[in-house]
Amino acid sequence: MFSDLTDQLDALGARLREALASAGDHAALEGVRVRFLGRSGEITQVRRAIGTLSPAERPAAGKAINDAVAQFEAELESRSHELDARALEGELALAIDVTFPGIAPATGSLHPIRRAMEDACRYFERHGFAVVLGPEIETEYYNFDALNIPPDHPAREGLDSFYLRPGLLLRTHTSPMQVRTMQAHPPPIAIVVPGKCYRRDAIDARHSPMFHQIEGLLVAPGIHLGHLKGVLEGLFREVFGPKQAVRFRPSFFPFVEPGAEVDTTCPGCGGEGCKTCGGSGWIEIGGSGMVHPDVLRESGYDPAGVTGWAFGVGIERIAMVRQDIDDIRVLFENDPRVLEQLA
């Protein structure tokens, strides 16, 4: 009788494997499972045959059936994995053509403003200047009073500056770090201060309410305007090219005396005259001058013992000239196509 049970299990296993081979999806595979291993499946009919065996044969018969069921379930699981793998291969065949050329990854680059700022700072670091940063939210004292800007100056009006509350505003220039540094350190001082500045300017091709500036300050005994001209000439040759020249035009700024607007040779035409420079051969690049004695005194320095110069240059102006851009908004709209061209 036990041999008959073994033959039944072998025959059932053969039918199961044949059914598994023909099952083409998970629905068909589930039908095979129910047919052979379900509550009313063929294996249940085999189990009922145990009752016809002698008591001595029943334990071995039960073990043989359980072993067969474990084997059948393993074969079902293996077929399920095969169907999963086949489905994935089909999806990949539709989604990915491994012979098709790949898409080149998008790579970033330094923004023209950041590149101009780093180039300028690198030049000054090579010449012994320290790069310092300051707060973008400033007090009126450091932004105006300590820089010899009188209370009735137009720049202090709410129409020109962004006030957060009385006595506190977004800095209009990076010059406050001149006084902060001098109050913290004795002379000599040699620093540059890059950073963002804010003014209530209407947005147009040349103006933006937020812009970048790099401020320079050198204070020591015997410093004069010739030192300033030499340093700025070196800076402009660093960022524009080796043939740059510099000229000063007298101007007034409350925190320097004397003061001067700074021009450099137009890099576009080499001084010959073009649309970039309006035919003059020169472009205006910033303001400068000798540090006003009142600013030195306010910072705790003795004007009789030390002198110094300071300048402020717009980073956007440098970037626009270098990239031949005639609208500052190009630098802020961040069109990836434009930035890729400027990289």
Q: Indicate whether 117 and 91 sit together in one domain.
A: no
Distance (Å, whole) CA 6 – CA 42:
14
Asked whether residue 102 is domain-assigned, the answer is no
Split into its structural domains, the chain has a count of 2
| Same structural domain, 117 and 74 | no
| 104 located within any domain | no
Q: In what order do the strands lie in the sheet with 210-220?
A: 130-131, 189-198, 210-220, 307-314, 282-291, 256-265, 246-251
Residues 178 and 265 in one domain: yes
| pLDDT value, residue 14 | 81
- Residue 204 DSSP label: S
Beta bridge pairs of residue 262 = 248, 286
Q: What is the pLDDT of residues 247-268, one digit of tens each?
A: 999 999 999 999 999 988 888 7
Last residue of a domain, one of 95, 121, 156: 95
243 found inside a domain? yes
87 in a structural domain: yes
Residues 34 and 143 in one domain: no
Residues 130 and 85 reside in one and the same domain: no
Whether residue 166 is found in the same domain as residue 278: yes
Does some domain include residue 100?
no
Residue where one domain finishes, among candidates 95, 130, 154: 95
Question: Is the domain of 259 the same as that of 129?
Answer: yes
User: Roughly what angle, to the nearest 10 degrees, separates helices 112-126 and 315-323?
Assistant: 110
Pair 201, 58 in one domain: no
Q: What is the DSSP letter of 49?
A: G
In a domain, 103, yes or no: no
> Whole domain around residue 11: which residue ranges?
2-95
Same domain? 226 vs 302: yes
Q: Which residues contact 98 (CB under 8 A, 6 or more apart)?
A: none
68 and 202 share one domain? no
- 123 and 91 part of one domain: no
When pLDDT is averaged across residues 100-126 and rounded to a whole number, the result is 88
36 or 152, which is more confident: 152
Domain boundary among 69, 95, 121: 95
pLDDT > 90 in the chain, percent: 43
Sequence letter at residue 143:
N
Question: What does the pLDDT look like over 288-339, one tens digit per residue?
Answer: 999 999 999 999 999 999 999 999 999 998 888 888 888 888 888 878 787 7
Q: Quick one: 184 and 298 in the same domain? A: yes
Distance, in Å, from the CA atom of 253 to the CA atom of 247, rounded to the nearest integer, reads 17
- Residue 106 maps to a domain: no
Nearest of 132, 232, 120, 129 to residue 190 by alpha carbon: 129
Q: Would you place residue 73 in the very low, low, confident or very high pLDDT band (cuts 50, 70, 90)?
A: confident
Structure tokens at 9: 């299990």
* Token reading at 305: 């013992």
Please report, for the domain that includes residue 246, its CATH number.
3.30.930.10
Q: Say if 177 falls within a structural domain.
A: yes
